[in-house]
Structure 1
Amino acid sequence: MSVQIALDEPREVRVTRSGDTATVWIDGVAVPASTRPDGGATEITVDERREKIWVVAGRDTVFVHAFDRAWALEVVDPVEASLRAGQSVDAATAPMPGVLVAVSVAAGDEVTDGQVVAVIESMKMQTEIRAPRAGVVERVPVAVGESFGQGAPLIVLVALEEGE
């Protein structure tokens, strides 16, 4: 599994393990390591250096204490990242390929920022798609039951008229 974490800037971190050996991939660069449980911590060895790492996961934050430092890492949900990226455009886009399961708006409907406008299914999981900003639905280019690719516009918006 691959996730993005945000320190000062987002980084993609992936860990693959086989027994007590591991490879930590940081932005595509492999770092060989070995791990073993050590009480409530994990001991990691990289290039003969041993460190204990404590990890506590919250809903959207992972707290890490290692190397005499502590970090609160934001887990970047690909759906939320897609919505944030879509704020500069006028569409709620698909964060991953899938099938449109439900649409809760139609052309002409007014939506608020963050309102659920559709539900998609991808890899047997359903995901709510939210409006990237307030506006009026111009069109819904994908029909319920249709497949789409990552980044496909699912709901296209136009700006609200002044005074509305």
Structure 2
Amino acid sequence: MKKLKITVEGKAYEVTVERMDEPSGSPPTAPLAAPAPAQAATPVKRADSPRPPIKAGSITSPMAGVVLSVDVADGEEVSQEQLLLVLEAMKMENQIIAPAPAKVAKVHVKAGESVTEGQLLVELE
């Protein structure tokens, strides 16, 4: 038998657990590991904004969703990280941005249109 402390919704409970596969009163066959010493949590650096995949000047949809807005037009010059369009997927708005300064060759979608993962959204030159 082993005594354990379990916390449920902030309230601590002390419980006794008996292993059914061991004869009563016999010691465990393997020593129990001691808990690892506490370490300070290292913050994980996350990207400031999602980056769409780019292939030969083409911006494709990173996931299936609905285009909420198109913020550029054919022939427009865009700067790096300029908003191209907003895509809603799983009730979240995802900003699709320009990976580098470029000229918009063609916008292939319009607001309200459903898109699939990998579908061509914007061509840059």
- Deviations for 1:88-129, whole angstroms, at most 9, x for unmatched residues? 530222222111110111111111111001011011111111
Q: More helix by proportion, 1 or 2?
A: 1
Calculate the TM-score normalised by the size of structure 2: 0.63
Q: Which residue of 2 aligns with 1:101?
A: 68
Equivalent positions of 1:6-155 (< 5 A) are: 48=33, 50-51=35-36, 52-55=38-41, 64=42, 73-76=44-47, 79-80=50-51, 82=52, 85-86=53-54, 89-155=56-122
Give the C-alpha shift of residue 53 in structure 1.
Answer: 3.9
CA drift at 1:76: 5.0
Deviation at 1:49, TM superposition (A): 5.1
- Higher RCO structure (Cα 8 Å, ≥6 apart): 2
**1:79 and 1:95 in contact (8 A); partners too:** no
Q: Is contact 1:91–1:132 with CA below 8 Å preserved after alignment?
A: no
Counterpart-to-counterpart distance in 2, 1:73 and 1:49: 27
Aligned residues: 95
Q: CA RMSD in A?
A: 2.5
The answer on whether the counterparts of 1:110 and 1:135 sit within 8 Å (CA) in structure 2 is yes
* Runs of 4+ off more than 4 Å: none
Confirm or deny: 8 A CA contact 2:49 2:95 kept in the other structure. Answer: no
Q: Which amino acid aligns with 1:73?
A: V
Matched residue, 1:44? none
**1 or 2, which has the higher strand percentage?**
1
Structure of greater Rg? 2
Letter in 1 for 2:45: E
